[in-house]
């Protein structure tokens, strides 16, 4: 569920990542009603041939006069785009301009983006402003990380501060950090992806960080219960608890229903509901949740569920094949192992 509106830059960087609706696949024909296969018919001589595959778009040649800024260099911009687009073998781009602005140290970058398959006829235009520190850009109304390794800073922050329950490896070489809200319907949907990731990437450290949204009245209480389940039963108990809460998410719609749902989830995790409730009422548990939320804000997390892969934030409920492609690419870039 969205917390803030996504920037146009993020949409351009990952247009497929925000398409979360399932595709409807027609069912296979019933064997009792399917028609027998007919022999192939010879086509008349005047039958038009199948259309030729579309060609990739041709970008206009950049004008050297449009490269008036000393920084950033075209090489840095291309490295930044490679870091963001490299997982998609069909993505193509061309840096069209790096322009001085009236403000010293601020440059405007213009990039053309296309699709090698030719499915998208007209190139998209991506523009952003680079800041004097060389490490950030302004895109839309947000400030985002920039450079040849744009995710390194976020990765380091997570390695130092992501302290939620985890499953998988103790090593943080491949760290997948999920920011989620127990009352968020999209977070519930994303759990299928998270379960698959735990199987497909046994060497990954998969961390859960609470990110309760203010308009979900039972999200904070659910998160506090989760913190206490972890304290009393460890990470294994937490993930049993979390699965039960997401399965019974409809019960969080009312305070009484939430109490029943959370207590039932605690029991499934093998713990005493009275002890967990007493723990959840202590001030330091709320401080734990606040620290998790602050971490998300510092990383510019603006929606739930968000999965951060070695510092790279993406929606956690994208189609699994897209999610896996991005993770595999990040594994290659970072030189780590996931399996």
- Contact (CB, 8 A) for 259 and 178: no
Written as tens digits, the pLDDT of the chain (339 aa) is 433 333 334 334 443 323 222 222 223 333 333 333 333 333 344 444 544 556 778 899 999 999 999 999 999 999 999 999 999 999 999 999 999 999 999 999 999 999 998 877 788 999 999 999 999 999 988 899 999 999 999 999 999 999 999 999 999 999 999 999 999 999 999 999 999 999 999 999 999 999 999 999 999 999 999 999 999 999 999 999 999 999 999 999 999 999 999 999 999 999 999 999 999 999 999 999 999 999 999 999 989 999 999 999 999 999 999 999 999 999 999 999 988
Contact 289, 223 (CB under 8 A): yes
Q: Which two tokens stand for residue 118?
A: 């030719």
The domains found in the chain, sorted by start residue, are 1-15+60-150 (no CATH), 153-334 (3.40.30.10)
Whether cis (ω within 30° of 0) applies to the bond prior to 305 is: yes
Cα angle, residue 122 at apex, residues 118 and 125 outer, rounded to 5°: 125
The pTM of the full predicted model, rounded to 2 decimals, is: 0.83
Token output for 283: 């001030």
Dist CA 114 CA 135 (whole Å): 25
């Amino acid at each position: 569920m969205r917390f803030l509106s996504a920037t146009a830059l993020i949409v351009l960087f990952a247009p497929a990542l925000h398409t979360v609706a399932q595709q409807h696949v027609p069912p296979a024909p019933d064997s009792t009603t399917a028609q027998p296969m007919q022999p192939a018919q010879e086509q008349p001589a005047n039958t038009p041939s199948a259309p030729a595959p579309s060609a990739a778009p041709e970008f206009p040649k950049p004008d050297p006069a449009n490269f008036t800024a000393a920084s950033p260099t075209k090489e840095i911009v291309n490295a930044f785009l490679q870091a963001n687009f490299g997982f998609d073998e069909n993505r193509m781009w061309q840096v069209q301009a790096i322009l001085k602005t009236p403000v010293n140290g601020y440059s405007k970058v213009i990039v053309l983006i296309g699709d090698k398959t030719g499915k998208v006829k007209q190139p998209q235009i991506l523009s952003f402003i680079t800041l004097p520190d060389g490490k950030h850009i302004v895109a839309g109304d947000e400030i985002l990380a920039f450079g040849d390794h744009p995710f390194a800073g976020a990765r380091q922050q997570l390695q130092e501060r992501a302290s939620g329950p985890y499953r998988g490896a103790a090593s943080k070489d491949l760290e997948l950090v999920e920011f989620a809200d127990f009352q968020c319907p999209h977070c519930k949907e994303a759990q299928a992806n998270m379960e698959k990731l735990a199987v497909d990437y046994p060497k990954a450290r998969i961390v859960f960080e609470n990110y309760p949204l203010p308009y979900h009245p039972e999200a904070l209480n659910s998160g506090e219960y989760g913190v206490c389940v972890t304290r009393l039963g460890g990470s294994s108990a937490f993930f049993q608890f979390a699965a039960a809460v997401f399965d019974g998410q409809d019960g969080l719609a009312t305070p009484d229903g939430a109490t029943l749902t959370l207590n039932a989830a605690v029991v499934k995790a093998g713990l005493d509901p009275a002890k967990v409730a007493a723990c959840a009422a202590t001030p330091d548990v709320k401080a734990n949740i606040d620290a998790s939320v602050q971490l998300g804000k510092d990383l510019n997390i603006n929606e739930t569920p968000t999965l951060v892969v070695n510092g790279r934030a993406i929606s956690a409920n994208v189609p699994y094949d897209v999610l896996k492609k991005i993770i595999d690419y990040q594994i290659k870039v970072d030189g780590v192992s996931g399996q």
